[in-house]
């Protein structure tokens, strides 16, 4: 799949690593919180401001950056009065990253007695646990996988 935006101006931290490129594009707390809120229905500047509590100048910067990088699109609201921000297909595809972060947080960032929000399906039940699997469908983890520097090594 081709990237949705031109990345000609990106100074990649580690240009051949997909993890690093993703982090360069969305790897700061505010960008991913904005994406989280857009997935949860936030559309206007005020929506994002109220939900994240981020300073307005930072929010302005992050929204612009997410638009430039092809994660959000600016649209005019049906009222015709204000601009809203809508996830692009690439932005919506971050759902897997957000779910992975949510599930990790549920497992490791809460004490027993603390409550937290939950992501539920249309039956009102929580999603299944995301489990990386290898090419045979067996569970994969740090110990059973290796990074090859270049796809041509395969």
Window 52-71: residues binding its own copies (CB under 8 A): 52-53, 70
Q: Which of residues 91-120 bind its own copies (CB under 8 A)?
A: 92-112, 115-120
Neighbour count for residue 24 (Cβ, 10 Å): 18
11 vs 79 by CB, closer to its own copies: 11
142 part of the interface to its own copies, by CB under 8 A? yes
Whether 42 and 63 have beta carbons less than 8 Å apart is answered as no
Quote the CA–CA distance of 99 and 139 in Å, as a whole number. 18
76 part of the interface to its own copies, by CB under 8 A? no
131 part of the interface to its own copies, by CB under 8 A? yes
3 part of the interface to its own copies, by CB under 8 A? yes
Quote the CA–CA distance of 66 and 69 in Å, as a whole number. 5
Strand partners, 126: 120
Q: Which of residues 6-25 bind its own copies (CB under 8 A)?
A: 7, 13-14, 16-25
């Amino acid at each position: 799949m081709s990237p949705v935006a031109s990345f000609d101006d990106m100074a990649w931290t580690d240009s051949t690593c997909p993890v690093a490129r993703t982090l360069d594009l969305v790897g700061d707390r505010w960008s991913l919180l904005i994406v989280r809120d857009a997935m949860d229905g936030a559309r206007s500047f005020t929506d994002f401001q109220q939900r994240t509590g981020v300073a307005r100048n930072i929010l302005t910067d992050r929204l612009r950056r997410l638009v430039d990088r092809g994660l959000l699109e600016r649209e005019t609201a049906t009222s015709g009065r204000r601009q809203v921000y809508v996830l692009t297909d690439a932005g919506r595809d971050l759902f897997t990253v957000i779910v992975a972060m949510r599930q990790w947080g549920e497992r490791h960032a809460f004490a027993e007695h603390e409550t937290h929000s939950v992501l539920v399906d249309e039956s009102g039940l929580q999603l299944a646990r995301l489990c990386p699997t290898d090419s045979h469908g067996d569970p994969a983890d740090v110990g059973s996988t290796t990074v090859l520097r270049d796809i041509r090594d395969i």
